[in-house]
A and B are shown apart, each in its own frame.
Chain A
Amino acid sequence: MAQSVNLKPFYIALGVVAVAGGAWIMSAAGGKTVTIPEMATGSAFPGYTLGSDSAKVEIIEYADFQCPACAMFTILTSPDVKSRLVNTGRVRWTFRDFPLPIHPKAPVAHLAAACAGDQGQFWAMHDQLFYNQGAWVNGRTRKLVDGYAQAVGLEMSEFKQCMSDQRHVDRIAATRNAGQQLGVSSTPSFIIGDQLVSGSIPIDQFIQLVERAERAAEQQ
């Protein structure tokens, strides 16, 4: 017969570990919200926008095309944000480049999106890059990106010229630096009203932050 052992302390310790671990995961899930001391969303390049110019709130997204969390946000959360906040006229959505140095293929992707933007197809290329991220990150990047350009209907000689000229490289770097000055250090990050939110957040939290920004806008 095995010796009887009082398991109560063990269960308590196990519970503490479970609660601490759960809290750690939840804190990572919720993203981190910090208040920007003085709202300074300015940038020489305003970014690529979606939605109404008369929207009371602007959400600025800083993203990296090679960032998996950014792709997941675009695929899973962004459709909800667009249908519930952007398409209803409450929010104007702005995308700004923030290629991270740890992502070696991000510069090509950001350049391709900017070159597509020259032909009015930034958002189509944006979706191609995020939805097919696994393919171009792990495969023959340039060939695949050319394929996406063709798929979205770009004029290919102009696109290839833009790519080989590296036409927007300096502008992309400047946008990234401006983001860093605002306190952006990871992707995706969002500026919602006067809040900088680091990390992907669920739609409910977007709505709460937008409501707060709307109230602040009404009081001004």
Chain B
Amino acid sequence: MAVATLALFGFLLAMYLWLWKIGLLGGIACGTGSCEAVQFSEHAVMFGVPVAFFGVVGYLGLLVVSLVGLQPAWIDRREPAILLAAISGVGVTFSAYLTYLEAVVIEAWCRWCLVSAAIIGVIFLVALAELWTRARTEAPFTDASV
């Protein structure tokens, strides 16, 4: 449930940044940050696609997988947890790269991008914790109990 909630917040955030990037929002509420500088840098687009759109797709994927994992038919299976850890692992790596670009190359900070990085980081930790818990509970007994 925590992953689904966080993924929904991340999805809304990424959608906001993507819609702004493609010109459908008038302004970007960034407070004291430099969202415009970051969003308008050459690094805000990869392979011709706005970076925020990768976030939209990634968070939507996490949301769907986490909701599927809550269903009775899937709740005892490991696959959703593995998939969540895999997707969020890619997301964390990508976010780390984007944060590096903000710090070193663009030299400006987009606070929404940092919030997104924090969200994906927490999702990754929660997914890892879930995998670890499952591994412990599903491990076969090794002692010779009678």
Contact = CB atoms under 8 A, between A and B. Distances in A.
Contact of B23 (A24, A25, A76, A138): A76
A179 to B, nearest CB: 15
A105 to B, nearest CB: 11
Contacts of A1: 76
Tell me the interface secondary structure of chain A in the complex: helix
Interface string B79-117: 000000000000000000000000000000000000000
B25 A68 contact: no
Interface in B27-45: 27-29, 36, 39-42
A25 B15 contact: yes
Contacts of B23: 69, 72-73, 75-77, 200
Most A CB contacts (10 A, CB to CB) among B23, B27, B40 go to B27
B59 to A, nearest CB: 12
A187 B26 CA distance: 8
A16 to B, nearest CB: 10
Interface stretch (A2-10, A35-43, A49-57): A2-10
A69 B36 CA distance: 9
Interface in B1-23: 1, 4-5, 8-9, 12, 15-16, 19-20, 22-23
Contact of A134 (B25, B40, B76): B40
Contacts of A177: none
A72 B26 CA distance: 9
Nearest to A72: B23
A198 B4 contact: no
B24 interface: yes
A67 B30 CA distance: 14
B140 interface: no
Nearest to A135: B42
Interface string A1-41: 11010010010011001100110110011011000000000
A73 B9 CA distance: 27
A5 to B, nearest CB: 8
B5 A199 contact: no
A4 B76 CA distance: 11
Nearest to A25: B16
B19 A69 contact: no
Most A CB contacts (10 A, CB to CB) among B15, B20, B23 go to B23
A117 interface: no
B70 interface: yes
25 contacts: A7-B1, A14-B4, A18-B8, A18-B12, A21-B9, A22-B12, A24-B12, A24-B16, A25-B12, A25-B19, A25-B25, A28-B19, A28-B25, A29-B19, A31-B26, A32-B26, A67-B36, A69-B28, A76-B22, A133-B40, A134-B41, A138-B40, A198-B27, A199-B27, A200-B23
Interface of B: 1, 4-5, 8-9, 12, 15-16, 19-20, 22-29, 36, 39-42, 70, 72, 75-76
Q: Sorted from nearest, which 6 A-B pairs have the closest CB atoms?
A: A199-B26, A72-B23, A21-B12, A200-B26, A68-B40, A76-B23
Given A17-B9, A138-B42, 6 more contacts: A4-B72, A14-B5, A25-B19, A28-B19, A28-B20, A198-B26
